[in-house]
């Protein structure tokens, strides 16, 4: 199967026309496959780039190792110093570490081949992973903000020395993790989420360092609480944005990269197309956009013309829009009148 999957309807016609249409359809599909293979570097069937996925998995593994070490150091430092901002950053990094585990698992799942039960494979696992990470970030943001409010009313004594040391260690480790993940941050939504989490960790470490410095130099007892609230404020918007993008994919919302009206206009502009209806555009993952449509053509359209229409529809979808997989049903006006569509 090529990246563009074309479906022809079986309508009433003579046996000769049916045989002729079948022959032309086979030739068109072979040509489309060859063009798609040439364009995508031999990637004829919808699969994942395994070398790229393997690189993403390796990056996530190293980032997880670094993050895990920092989590341990920050938890110890938080218990030693009594710092809420350090505890908040440690909690944030616990979520990030678990998020990296989820991201690593998702990266491994996307390498699994599709089968008869999972015809799209595990492509959507990266979206589920990103949504889960976003939910955890929101939970930790609310927890930290709640504790910070209590500490504003009842300040606690903080040991700035251990807090400062652990904050610096955390910042260095976050910079290392960012360097590891930077090369793959645009691979998919999953990798982008992991990169943003570590970037936010780095900002959290900076907040801890600043709070420790203010506590040590000026004896400002509220510095730690303000820093923890800043960390929560940094986490919440990013978590909401990530959750919104993930839910948009899960709800099969049209991606921002595709204008359905413009797509319909392109399709209607193809010679021989009378109407386009039941047009659906959705994303299976952050980089896999699909389109399906019923296309009305004249009942006199012969097999060669049908093949040309199908080919031009597929070329339109893949060249003018970031659509990787398309399915079109060609039908006569008589067939369209008897359709029972829910949408």
At 278, list the tokens. 């039941």
Residues 332/296, Cβ–Cβ less than 8 Å: yes
Model confidence over 56-81: pLDDT tens digits? Answer: 667 777 777 777 777 777 777 777 77
pLDDT at residue 340, as a whole number: 63
Residue that is written with structure tokens 């040509």 in the block: 31
Q: In the sheet that 325-331 helps form, which strands lie side by side, from edge to edge?
A: 273-285, 288-297, 325-331
Model confidence over 235-285: pLDDT tens digits? Answer: 788 788 888 888 888 898 999 889 999 999 999 999 999 999 999 999 987
pLDDT band at 151; cut points 50, 70, 90: confident
Mean pLDDT of the chain, nearest integer: 74
- Of the candidates 167, 191, 175, the one whose C-alpha atom is nearest the C-alpha of residue 87 is 167
pTM beyond 0.75, yes or no:
no
């Amino acid at each position: 199967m090529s990246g563009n999957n074309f479906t022809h309807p079986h309508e009433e016609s003579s046996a000769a026309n049916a045989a002729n249409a079948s022959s032309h359809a086979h030739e068109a599909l072979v040509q489309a496959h060859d063009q798609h293979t040439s364009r995508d570097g031999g990637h004829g069937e919808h699969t994942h780039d395994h070398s790229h996925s393997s690189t993403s998995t390796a990056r996530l593994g190293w980032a997880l190792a670094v993050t895990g070490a920092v989590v341990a150091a920050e938890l110890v430092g938080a218990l030693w110093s009594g710092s809420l901002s350090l505890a908040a950053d440690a909690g944030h990094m616990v979520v990030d570490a678990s998020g990296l585990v989820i991201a690593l698992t998702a990266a491994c799942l996307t390498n699994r081949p599709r089968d008869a039960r999972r015809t799209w494979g595990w492509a959507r696992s990266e979206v589920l992973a990103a949504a889960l990470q976003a939910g955890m970030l929101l939970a930790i943001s609310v927890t930290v903000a709640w504790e910070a409010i209590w500490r504003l009313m009842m300040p606690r004594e903080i040991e700035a020395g251990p807090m400062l040391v652990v904050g610096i260690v955390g910042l260095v480790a976050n910079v290392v993790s960012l360097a590891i993940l930077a090369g793959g941050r645009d691979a998919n939504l999953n990798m982008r989420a992991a990169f943003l989490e570590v970037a936010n960790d780095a900002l959290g470490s900076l907040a801890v360092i600043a709070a420790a410095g203010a506590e040590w130099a000026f004896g400002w007892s509220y510095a730690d609480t303000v820093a923890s609230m800043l960390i929560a404020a940094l986490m919440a918007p990013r978590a909401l944005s990530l959750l919104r993008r993930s839910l948009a994919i899960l709800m099969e919302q049209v991606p921002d990269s595709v204008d359905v009206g413009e797509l319909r206009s392109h399709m209607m502009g193809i010679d021989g197309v009378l109407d386009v209806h039941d047009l659906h555009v959705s994303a299976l993952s952050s980089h896999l956009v699909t389109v399906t449509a019923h296309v009305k053509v004249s009942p006199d359209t012969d097999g060669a013309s049908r093949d040309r229409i199908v080919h031009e529809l597929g070329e339109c979808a893949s060249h003018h829009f970031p659509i990787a997989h398309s399915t079109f049903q060609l039908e006569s006006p008589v067939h369209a009148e008897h359709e029972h569509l829910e949408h």
